[in-house]
């Protein structure tokens, strides 16, 4: 079982290495920029819940090409919060290469979500944006997130969650995700398989309720859960007990 999980994780990482050069372009076209409002909301709420004037360290796991890290930076200014260090963690060398070029002032580690090379209790926030469903050993990763965070530190998750009983709008979302998005992403990236993986990964992923239970089992207390834009994206914020 461990070997199968390792091979599956390695295949996912390899896929992201392949699409890294066109990833930002594909995302902008497919999301039409609406993901920016979700990211702003996540950052603003986190700063509000934490209610401190300064934050020592923010860790963005599965940081990809670095955009969420820049949202943490820009929204800290808007929220009047001083941030010491922003760290990106991702197992994809290709993605981090793009991130380093875009945002050279941030710090980066090539690493799995289950093996974050940071000291225990060192981070105030840990975010993972549209990446938790790509972590094969998810429950192990959530425990690792808890280890890295300070007491009362926050984990912030934005994700495409599985919806077992979709509304009419949800069915429209599913049609877009299953039929339209893979063709657009595949055309831009020249890698249809990678963008066919997206709807499949959502279908195989957790529901919101199960995700909340997994967070609580890993030592977190839920603070906030909300789905946006026809339930396309869900934000979960939890505090380390």
What are the pLDDT digits (tens) for 128-148? 998 898 898 999 999 999 999
- Would residue 69 count as lying in a domain? yes
Q: Residues 6 or more apart from 28 whose CB is under 8 A from it?
A: none
How many angstroms separate the CA atoms of 45 and 113, rounded? Answer: 23
User: What is the structure's pLDDT at 228?
Assistant: 81
- Would residue 198 count as lying in a domain? no
User: What is the structure's pLDDT at 168?
Assistant: 67
Q: Give the domain range for residue 82.
A: 2-6+34-162+208-240
pTM of the model: 0.86
> Phi/psi of residue 90, each to 5°?
-160, 140
> Phi/psi of residue 82, each to 5°?
-85, 125
Q: What is the CATH number of the domain that holds 50?
A: 3.40.50.150
- Would residue 221 count as lying in a domain? yes
Q: What is the mean pLDDT of the chain?
A: 86
- Tell me the average pLDDT across 169-175: 68
For residue 191, give Cα distances in angstroms to 74, 158, 175, 180, 205.
Answer: 32, 24, 20, 15, 22
- Would residue 201 count as lying in a domain? no
How many C-beta atoms lie closer than 10 Å to residue 163's C-beta?
Answer: 20
E strand segments, 76-202: 82-90, 107-110, 123-129, 149-159
- Would residue 169 count as lying in a domain? no
Closest CA to 228 of 177, 159, 140, 171: 159
How many angstroms separate the CA atoms of 54 and 83, rounded? Answer: 6
- Would residue 218 count as lying in a domain? yes
pLDDT at 105 over 90: yes
User: What is the structure's pLDDT at 204?
Assistant: 62
Distance of CA 220 to the CA centre of its chain: 17
How many C-beta atoms lie closer than 10 Å to residue 190's C-beta?
Answer: 10
Binding site: what residues are annotated?
A: 65, 90
How many angstroms separate the CA atoms of 74 and 93, rounded? Answer: 25
User: What is the structure's pLDDT at 197?
Assistant: 61
- Would residue 186 count as lying in a domain? no
- Would residue 82 count as lying in a domain? yes
Number of domains in the chain: 1
Binding site for S-adenosyl-L-methionine: what residues are annotated?
A: 65, 90
Residue 194: pLDDT band (50, 70, 90) is low
Two tokens, residue 7: 């091979």
């Amino acid at each position: 079982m461990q070997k199968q999980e390792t091979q599956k994780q390695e295949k996912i990482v390899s896929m992201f290495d392949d699409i890294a050069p066109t990833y930002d372009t594909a995302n902008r076209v497919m999301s039409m920029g609406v993901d920016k409002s979700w990211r702003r909301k996540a950052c603003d709420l986190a700063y509000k819940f934490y209610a401190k004037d300064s934050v020592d360290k923010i860790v963005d796991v599965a940081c990809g090409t670095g955009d969420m890290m820049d949202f943490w930076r820009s929204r800290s200014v808007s929220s009047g919060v001083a941030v010491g260090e922003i760290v990106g963690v991702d197992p994809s060398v290709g993605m981090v290469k793009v991130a380093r070029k875009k945002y050279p002032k941030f710090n980066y580690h090539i690493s799995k979500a289950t093996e974050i090379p940071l000291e225990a209790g060192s981070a105030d926030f840990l975010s993972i944006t549209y990446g938790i469903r790509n972590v094969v050993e998810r429950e192990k990763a959530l425990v690792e997130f808890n280890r890295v965070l300070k007491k009362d530190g926050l984990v912030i998750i934005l994700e495409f969650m599985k919806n077992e009983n979709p509304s009419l709008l949800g069915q429209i979302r599913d049609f877009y995700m299953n039929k339209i998005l893979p063709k657009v992403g595949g055309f831009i990236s020249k890698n249809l398989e990678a963008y066919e993986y997206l709807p499949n990964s959502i279908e195989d992923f957790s529901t919101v309720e199960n995700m909340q239970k997994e967070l609580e089992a890993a030592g977190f207390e839920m603070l906030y859960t909300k789905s946006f834009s026809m339930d396309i994206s869900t934000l979960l914020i939890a505090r380390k007990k």
